[in-house]
Structure 1
Amino acid sequence: MPTEFTVRGSHSAFQPPERGTAHITLAFQGPALQPAYDRVVHDLEAVKASIQELHDPADGPVTWWSTQHVRTWAQRPWNKDGKQLPLVHHASVGVQVKFRDFGRLATWVGRLVSSAEGFRLDGVEWALTEARRVELERTVRVRAVQEAARRAQEYADALGLGTVRPVAVADAGMLSQGISPIGGGPAAYMRMAAKESGGGAELELAPEDIEVSAEVDARFVAE
């Protein structure tokens, strides 16, 4: 009667990010809609001009960018005494800019911080190029399967059995009754710091490495 082994193999690879997409917002508010709207549109044109100077899809430093439509809305706030105040009008627009040169990204953001009053950096999304991500995914899947085979053979060796042979391999969780794959690496977040220098505040970007991971479940038998 063959002995069956069900094991899980995993592997992770870490790579410095190759792209950083800045998510920014330009926003203003005031007692009237038109001035707030006009200010956002004016600053948006200036931001777009600064992006176009850097945009080159092949060589960067900006490889891609997009803008949303300008949004407007109004709300009537309340003061601390419970009295409703006059309407406040808002206008805002979101912009995404993908950089391959992180030094130029920091310089660009720093320049906007000092020149655009309504500028807000919502975050930077760090990523790999599509080709590199696919390559790493293939590598970690192979290593995860090899890890599963190694573990199964160690169990068989501990029992004095022979060489194991695979009978099933699946994404993690799919060999169990529920058939629900699990896994996926953690998201990459932005770490930022502003340090004082002789010329004022300097933006410093410190992206963490991108983790690409894979987990597989495998079933082996040994006589």
Structure 2
Amino acid sequence: MADTIITVQGEYELRHPAERGTVRLLVAYDGEDREETLALATQRHQQLARELRDLQEGTSGPVAQWSSDSLRVWGERPWNQEGRRLPVVFHAQVGVEAVFGELGALSDWVGVVSLLDGVQVEGVTWGLTEARRQSLTQEARRRAVENAVAKATVYATSLGLSSVRPVALSDPGMLGDGAAPPQPPQPMFARAAADLGGATLALKPEDLTIAVQVHARFAAS
């Protein structure tokens, strides 16, 4: 009797609390005087940069790393409701991004800088350390394979077959069955939730999910 080929998808998800938070700020000023607008943006950017350098403190501070964009300055003449051109308005903007390894420090700092003139908090992205992500991914892959074996075994026994042996195992899309191409497992990032009930901003990250899928083919007899 010929073997029965069973092809299945194994999957597994692991959840873990966020370990890092990346905050994106925008320093933005508008004004009729170019030099004054530029000076305000420059001063605010320098203040934030000093604070982040102090928070970084080599490798021991709550800030793991930070960076900023180039300062952009431009002018435009807006139109009023009557279709007339108004005087030139100048804009100065620079983006700042900081990765915090201590989420409490992140919440405290964002709560302070979000009240500063000219500062907009564009959002916070939660993440894991690279070592943690790799460890969770390896565990999820192992569990996904176990899930595939369990599925194939159930299918085989439902057909009255007792012997199941693996023939092929791959990431999704690599068995030549027309499935979607493989995608590397990535944490499913959650948006920052803000609790404004107190005097400071409380950021509450949701747990992150590492999801892995594998395709497997078995011969059952």
- What is the TM-score with the length of structure 2 in the denominator? 0.93
State the Cα distance separating 1:187 from its structure 2 match.
Answer: 2.8
Query: Structure 2 counterpart of 1:194, which letter?
Result: L
Cross-structure match for 1:205: 203
Measure the CA separation in 2 of the matches of 1:214 and 1:113: 37
Counterpart amino acid of residue 193 in structure 1: D
The percentage of aligned residue pairs carrying the same residue is: 38
SS in 2 for 1:97: strand
> What SS does structure 2 have at the residue aligned with 1:141?
helix
Structure 2: gaps spanning 5 or more residues: none
Q: Distance in 2 between matches of 1:30 and 1:215?
A: 53
1:172, distance to aligned residue in structure 2 (A): 1.7
1:54 — aligned with what?
55
Secondary structure of the residue that 1:77 maps to in structure 2? coil
Secondary structure of 2:114's match? helix
Task: Answer whether contact 1:11 1:140 (CA < 8 A) is retained.
Answer: yes
The offset of 1:58, in angstroms, is 3.0
Per the TM alignment, residue 183 of structure 1 is displaced from its structure 2 partner at its CA by: 7.1
Q: Secondary structure of 2:86's match?
A: coil
Q: Distance in 2 between matches of 1:17 and 1:154?
A: 36
Q: For residue 87 of structure 1, report the CA deviation from its aligned partner.
A: 1.6
User: TM-score scaled by structure 1?
Assistant: 0.92
1:81 pairs with 2:82: yes
1:110, distance to aligned residue in structure 2 (A): 1.8
Are the equivalent residues in 2 in contact too, given 1:57–1:64 (CA < 8 A)? Answer: no
Alpha-carbon RMSD across the aligned residues, in angstroms, is: 1.6
Question: What amino acid is the match of 1:93?
Answer: V
Give the aligned length. 218
Assess if the C-alpha contact under 8 Å between 2:77 and 2:88 holds in 1: yes
Indicate whether 1:143 and 2:143 are aligned.
yes
For structure 1, the residue ranges without an aligned partner over 5 or more in a row are none
| Alignment match of 1:189 (pick from 183, 191, 199) | 191
The correspondence of residues 28-177 of structure 1 with structure 2, limited to 5 A, is 28-114=29-115, 116-175=116-175, 176-177=177-178
Match of 2:220 in 1: 222
Structure-2 change in CA distance of 1:11 and 1:57 (3 Å): farther
Q: 8 Å contact 2:156–2:162 — kept in the other structure?
A: yes
Q: Return closer, same or farther for 1:150/1:188 CA change in 2, 3 Å cut-off.
A: same
Assess if the C-alpha contact under 8 Å between 1:17 and 1:207 holds in 2: yes
SS at 1:202's partner residue? Answer: coil
Alpha-carbon distance between aligned partners in 1 of 2:180 and 2:206, rounded to the nearest angstrom: 33
